[in-house]
A and B are shown apart, each in its own frame.
Chain A
Amino acid sequence: MRRQMRIARRLTIKCAPAVVALTGLLAFAGCETFGSIAAGVGVATGTLDRSEAQAVRDSATAVSRSFEDFTPEQEYYIGRSVGATILDQYETYDAEAVNRYLNKLGQSLALASDRPELFAGYRFQVLDSQELNAFATPSGLVFVTRGMLNLAESEAEVAAILAHEIGHIEHKHGLKAIRASRINTALTSVALTSVQVASDSEIAELTETFEGTINDITSSLVNSGYSRGAEREADRTAVKILRRVGYDPYALRRVLEGMQAAWSPDGPGYAQTHPSPQDRIDDVEDEIPDDATRDTTAPPARRERYQAAMGGV
Chain B
Amino acid sequence: MKRLLACAVLFAALALADGAAQSELSIQVREAEMRSNPSYLSGIVTTLSYGDRVRVLEEGSGWYRVSFEGDTGWVHNSAVTEERIVLEGGQEDVETGATDTEVALAGRGFNEEVESRYQSEQGLDYSKIDEIEASYDFSREELAEFMQSGGLEIGQGGER
Contacts and interface: CB of A to CB of B under 8 A. Distances in A.
B2 to A, nearest CB: 10
A108 B155 contact: yes
Contact of B143 (A104, A119, A241): A104
Interface residues of A, number: 98
A41 B53 CA distance: 16
B115 A45 contact: no
A206 to B, nearest CB: 5
A123 B89 CA distance: 29
A114 B6 contact: no
A207 B118 CA distance: 6
A189 B109 contact: yes
A259 interface: no
A111 B154 contact: yes
B62 interface: yes
Interface stretch (A74-82, A226-234, A267-275, A279-287): A74-82
Interface string B99-139: 11111111111111111011101101110110011011110
Tier of interface size on chain B = 35 or more
B86 A44 contact: yes
B58 to A, nearest CB: 19
Contacts of A141: 129, 132-133
Contacts of A114: 62, 78, 157-160
Contact of B29 (A14, A117, A213): A117
A206 B109 contact: yes
27 contacts: A3-B49, A7-B89, A8-B89, A25-B10, A28-B7, A31-B6, A31-B10, A34-B10, A43-B103, A57-B98, A59-B100, A60-B99, A73-B28, A81-B118, A84-B124, A87-B125, A104-B136, A108-B152, A112-B154, A115-B157, A116-B155, A192-B99, A193-B105, A193-B108, A195-B98, A196-B94, A207-B121
Given A56-B100, A71-B85, 15 more contacts: A41-B17, A44-B86, A73-B111, A81-B119, A84-B119, A104-B143, A108-B143, A108-B154, A108-B155, A112-B155, A120-B29, A196-B94, A244-B153, A299-B150, A301-B150
